[in-house]
Amino acid sequence: MTQLESALKGETTEQMAKVAEDEGMDIDVLRKAVAEGRVVIPHNPRH
2-33 pLDDT, tens digit per residue, is: 999 999 999 999 999 999 999 999 999 999 99
* C-alpha to C-alpha distance for 31 and 9, rounded to whole angstroms: 10
pLDDT of residue 27: 98
pLDDT of residue 13: 96
pLDDT of residue 22: 97
pLDDT of residue 3: 95
For 28-43, give one letter per residue: b (16+ CB within 10 A) or e: eebbeebbeeebeeee
pLDDT of residue 44: 81
